[in-house]
Amino acid sequence: DVKVTQSSRYLVKRTGEKVFLECVQDMDHENMFWYRQDPGLGLRLIYFSYDVKMKEKGDIPEGYSVSREKKERFSLILESASTNQTSMYLCASSLTGVGYGYTFGSGTRLTVV
Amino acid sequence: AQSVTQPDIHITVSEGASLELRCNYSYGATPYLFWYVQSPGQGLQLLLKYFSGDTLVQGIKGFEAEFKRSQSSFNLRKPSVHWSDAAEYFCAVGPTDSWGKLQFGAGTQVVVTP
């Protein structure tokens, strides 16, 4: 079964820490995405990547960066975690072409204290 | 501006009753349309999608959706809900000339009562 795997289901980090969220897909998908999900706000796109080493800002990139050194792996980095980054983070991947839709990981619930 | 609207934030339905979730979009041309479901603590799972052709689309878990061009709507339905249908449902759209970026609605939370 094809998968998008997020390395952690739950994370608790301290304010100011550098945080890495990892996402791996085994479907040879070109596109990968990071979203954050907050109650009442739905899914908001943080960053996406359409190829190795390529990245584009989404709607809310401030305070985040990403890395895609290999096709299957897309990392989200919180340079200096803050409490307002407490959220559910969802990774997704897709083939090129909007008609394919996305495959999502199970999410990482991040709490910054 | 392009937009996706799910007018209902929260819906409560009795087990065995029918369910309809609304989705309206504003795009220059008919986009690709999707419905996803998110069970508590999980990622999103694709229920169904529409590209063209028959405007009534069948999906998994007994769901169907109807595309109505004149109303710019893509409403999700299920004739008889089960307790396991309690979840959050997201409508998503993507323009046909896009390489793959989808826009999601804010979601509708469905509660199923006994």
B43:A42 CB<8 A: no
> Is the model more confident about B100 or about B47?
B47
pLDDT band at residue A11 under the 50/70/90 scheme:
very high
If pLDDT is split at 50, 70 and 90, which confidence band does A1 have? low
Greater confidence (A53 vs B97) lies with A53
Q: Which residues of A touch B105 (CB under 8 A)?
A: 42
Neighbour-count burial for A51-88, b at 16+ CB within 10 Å, e otherwise: eeeebeebeeeeebebbbeebbbbbbebeebeeebbbb
Chain A contact present for B48, CB below 8 A: no
Q: Answer whether A39 touches B (CB < 8 Å).
A: no
Residues of chain A found within 8 Å of residue B107, distances taken between Cβ atoms = 42-43
Could you tell me if A94 lies within 8 Å of chain B, comparing CB atoms? yes
Sign (positive or negative) of CA dihedral B21, B51, B105, A63? positive
Do residue A101 and residue B96 have CB atoms under 8 angstroms apart? no
Put simply, whether A100 touches B (Cβ < 8 Å) is yes
Is pLDDT larger for residue B96 or for residue B74? B74
Give B44's Cβ-side CA count (13 Å radius).
30
Note the pLDDT tens digit of each residue in B53-66. Answer: 889 999 999 999 99
> Quick check: A48 pLDDT over 80?
yes
Indicate if the pLDDT at residue B99 is higher than 80: no
| A41 vs B: CB within 8 A | yes
SS3 A40: coil
Residue-wise pLDDT tens digits, A33-43: 999 999 888 89
More confident of the two residues B79 and B103 = B79
- So what's the pLDDT on residue A41? 86
Q: Is A106 on the interface with B (CB under 8 A)?
A: yes
CA distance A74 to chain B (A): 16
Q: What is the pLDDT of residues B16-56, one digit of tens each?
A: 999 999 999 988 777 899 999 999 888 899 999 998 888 99
Q: Do B51 and A41 touch (CB under 8 A)?
A: no
pLDDT confidence of B9, banded at 50, 70, 90? very high
pLDDT of residue A99: 77
**A106/B100 Cβ within 8 A:** no
3 state DSSP class of B60: helix
Residue of A nearest to B38 (CA): A106
